[in-house]
Amino acid sequence: MAKDDQGKKNWNETTIAVRAGLESDESYNSVMPPLYMSTNYAFSSFGEVPVYDYGRVGNPTRDVVGKALADMEGGFNGVMTSSGMAALDLMFTHLDPADIIVAPHDCYGGTYRLLRSKAAKGHYKVNFIDQTDDAALKAAFEAKPKMILLETPSNPLLRIVDIEKVVAMAKKTETLVVVDNTFLSPFLQKPFDFGVDAVIHSTTKYINGHSDVIGGCLITKDEELYTDMRWWNNCIGYAPSPFDCYLTLRGVRTLNARMSRQQETAAKLVDYLCSHESVEKVFYPGLESHAGYEIAKRQQKGAGAMISFELKGGEKSVRSFVNNLDVFSLAESLGGVESLIAHPATMTHRGMGPEALVEAGISHGLLRISTGQEDAQDLIDALVCALDSTLSNAA
């Protein structure tokens, strides 16, 4: 038995991440698992189908990272995809045209676009609701949806949805509960502990963590759904490249170290943002004033490293702030080693259109920070300097 299989049940997710696939190479006993780039595999004799035959169906490097992520989440196994969107779309293949999927009204803009566009073509029906609103949830479940997608914390307002409560409601209607866990990773939140059916990651973000791979993963709680999703992944051809999987596995090894430090720095940035007069409001689940604070304390192991905040003075202030901000890159995405600042209304969420933006509470004064690995004081100095300049420009 390979060492990575020994005692796995008792391992913490950090140990699983570090040791996944180690010493599994039977050719040379390499400590790190090798990278298999080959697209095809020889049959040892006529009619004897090997474990791997064709790269779209399966690949050893891909399978190591899929299983590692599933073990970290506490799921059965994970299907790796070429993007987070591909993982979401793969999950939605489970829906028939008459089926309803309930989704957050403030979900990631790409998820919103996918659901709305495919629903318009009749692939399924979608109901976008505020999942923090009990009455809206109750009404949505009355229609017996086939699936509910949660994104908690949500992107970009970091609203927290009570996973346990949704699972209890979903049981009564046999609704499949799927959680997009991209914002926290299994190091900070384990949705399977609350009884969900599937967990999705844009591995592009914290899982890979180095902003050099676009990827996704769909992890299921049981074998049957995994087998079905793996079949569809081959059928559609959403598989990522082996090299991307290799890089992602390398990123996973340091997930704990990265997450811990980035989260610690984020809390320091939040303190400064909260105390500055240019800032109208800070959205961060670690703040007692945050509407989801108590739920986050219960279901998360930390508040995470994402912060959103609203500047006084709307888009004019945003322009001045961003132009005066050092260190941070003005860019989309999140979860990498580098700190980023994004303006959701004109960047990540612009595809939603003005009405949906208003409904989701995404104003033109809203900015989103992905806290990176830089020195905390350098980041604080940059933020304070840009906030001060916003104040003087407004005067």
Q: Which residues contact 5 (CB under 8 A, 6 or more apart)?
A: none
Q: Hey, is 50 helix, strand or coil? A: coil
Q: Contact with ligand PLP (CB under 6 A): which of 13, 63, 180, 197?
A: 180
Q: How far is the CB of 334 from ligand PLP (least distance, A)?
A: 6
Catalytic residue among 25, 52, 56, 116: 56
- Compute φ and ψ for 31, nearest 5 degrees: -70, -50
Give me the sheet containing 125-129, strands edge to edge: 77-81, 216-220, 198-202, 176-180, 147-151, 100-104, 125-129
Given a contact cutoff of 8 angstroms between Cβ atoms, the answer to whether 162 and 191 are in contact is no
SS3 label, residue 33: coil
Site for ligand PLP (CB under 6 A): which residue of 33, 55, 60, 84?
84
Of 146, 205, 230, 253, catalytic:
205
Tokens for 17? 């991440």
CA distance 173 to 175: 5
Residue 90 C-beta: closest distance to ligand PLP, Å: 12
Task: Kindly state the helix (H) or strand (E) to which residue 150 belongs, with its residue range.
Answer: strand 147-151
Residues 193-212 that bind ligand PLP (CB under 6 A): 202, 204
**Residue 108 a catalytic site member:** yes
Shortest CB 40 distance to ligand PLP, Å = 27
Respond yes or no: is residue 205 known to be catalytic.
yes
Are 71 and 255 a contacting pair, CB within 8 Å?
Answer: no
* CA distances, 158 to each of 179, 193, 324, 344, 370 (Å): 14, 21, 25, 13, 12
Contact call for residue 269 and ligand PLP (CB under 6 A): no
Comparing CB distances to ligand PLP, the nearer of 186 and 216 is: 216
Q: Which residue is nearest to ligand PLP (CB)?
A: 84
Which long-range contacts (C-beta less than 8 Å, at least 24 apart) are formed by 23-30?
24/64
4 is a site residue for ligand PLP (CB under 6 A): no
Does position 216 interact with ligand PLP (CB under 6 A)? The reply is yes
Which one of the listed residues 180, 230, 244, 368 is annotated catalytic?
180
Q: How far out from the chain centre does Cα 240 lie?
A: 17
Residue 104 near residue 149, CB atoms below 8 Å = yes
- Nearer of residues 24 and 202 to ligand PLP, judged by Cβ: 202
> Residue 104 or residue 313: which is nearer to ligand PLP going by CB?
104
List the interface residues with ligand PLP, window 139-158 (CB under 6 A).
151, 155
- Angle formed at CA 154 by CA 151 and CA 156, multiple of 5 degrees: 145
According to the binding rule CB under 6 A, does residue 184 interact with ligand PLP? no
* Residues 6 or more apart in contact with residue 20 via CB below 8 angstroms: 4, 64, 65, 67, 68, 71, 249, 252
Indicate if 56 belongs to the active site. yes
Min separation Cβ 289 and ligand PLP, Å? 24
Q: Which is nearer to ligand PLP, 5 or 212 (CB)?
A: 212
Is residue 182 part of the contact set for ligand PLP (CB under 6 A)? yes
Selected from 108, 124, 321, 328, the binder of ligand PLP by CB under 6 A is 108
Of 41 and 192, nearer to ligand PLP (C-beta) is 192
CB of 380 to ligand PLP, least distance (A): 25
Task: Out of 66, 110, 209, 251, name the contact with ligand PLP by CB under 6 A.
Answer: 110
Return d(Cα 250, Cα 279) in angstroms, integer: 38
Using CB under 6 A as the binding rule, the residues of this chain from 41 to 70 that contact ligand PLP are: none
Interacting span for ligand PLP (CB under 6 A) from 29-37, 108-116, 134-142, 241-249: 108-116
Positions marked active-site: 56, 108, 180, 205
**Residues contributing to the site for ligand PLP (CB under 6 A):** 83-85, 108, 110-111, 151, 155, 180, 182, 202, 204, 214, 216
